[in-house]
Amino acid sequence: MTDATALIRLSGITKTYGQGQAAFLALKGVDLAIEPGEFVAIMGPSGSGKSTVMNILGCLDTPSSGTYVFEGVHVEQLTRDQRALLRRNYLGFVFQGYNLLARTTALENVELPLIYRGEPAAARHAAARAALEQVGLGGWEDHTPAELSGGQQQRVAIARSIVTRPAVLLADEPTGNLDTRTSQEIMDLITALNRDRGITVLMVTHEPDMAAYAKRTIRFVDGRVESDQLNGGAA
């Protein structure tokens, strides 16, 4: 795993929560490399550290030790604002709980990352509409989350994550709150984004059915990588 083309490389990442007696070691030294364009499923039982590693990969949380290199940049040395800019320009997030702004229309939710990027209003509207179109929500622009189904809300969240054309899409249990049929639709959408737009996808899931959409599965147990294997391109 020392490929120089790696988009992401973690070496010796640890994460400790709490201090002293109550300290809990959530990650016990994780080494990981991810190439551009990969579709990786991260699996493991509860408390195995899969969400923790995901948050570190997404710069939402910082590791206690170890190095995290993203496109040649040592993320662990970046300032808070630099990490925010990295999220802004390279990463897109999809969460289990959607995390849309309440009482805010689909269009405004999708526009939000572009506002922080300082895009002019016209370009912003066009890009947000296109992203909603792409996730199959053309015509739903003016609906607020409360007026949308769970599947539709997750589509809005996906549209928001891809509207900035990120290098990496991080999805934390994206189908965790959805029924089987809707889950499949969402997975088809994510798969298509990976295949057609070359977005690297990292997805945490505990459902083997969903992991089967990925090309590679990394399995976590007890804060360590237990297995790392290619799926042979399922789905």
Binding site for another protein (CB under 8 A): 55, 58-62, 80-81, 84-85, 87-89, 91, 93, 95, 99-104, 108, 112-113, 115-118, 160-161, 164
CA dihedral 173, 177, 181, 187 (to 10 degrees): -20
- Return the residue matching tokens 């549209």: 159
Shortest Å distance, C-beta 180 to another protein: 26
For residue 207, give both structure tokens.
Answer: 């459902």
Closest CA to 169 of 1, 4, 2, 8: 8
Shortest Å distance, C-beta 94 to another protein: 11
Q: In this complex, which beta carbon is closest to another protein, that of residue 71 or of residue 185?
A: 71
Name the DSSP letter for residue 120.
-
Q: In this complex, which beta carbon is closest to another protein, that of residue 93 or of residue 140?
A: 93
Tallying the residues shown for the chain, one arrives at 235
Alpha-carbon distance 41 to 207, whole Å?
10
Q: What is the distance, to the nearest Å, from the Cα of residue 209 to the centroid of all Cα atoms in its chain?
A: 18
Shortest Å distance, C-beta 88 to another protein: 3
Beta strand pairing status for 8-17 and 24-34?
Answer: antiparallel
Shortest Å distance, C-beta 39 to another protein: 21
Beta strand pairing status for 39-43 and 8-17?
Answer: unpaired
Q: In this complex, which beta carbon is closest to another protein, that of residue 140 or of residue 213?
A: 140
Shortest Å distance, C-beta 25 to another protein: 18
Q: In this complex, which beta carbon is closest to another protein, that of residue 80 or of residue 181?
A: 80
Q: In this complex, which beta carbon is closest to another protein, that of residue 106 or of residue 215?
A: 106
Shortest Å distance, C-beta 121 to another protein: 9
Q: In this complex, which beta carbon is closest to another protein, that of residue 132 or of residue 216?
A: 132
Alpha-carbon distance 12 to 196, whole Å?
33
Closest CA to 11 of 78, 86, 69: 69
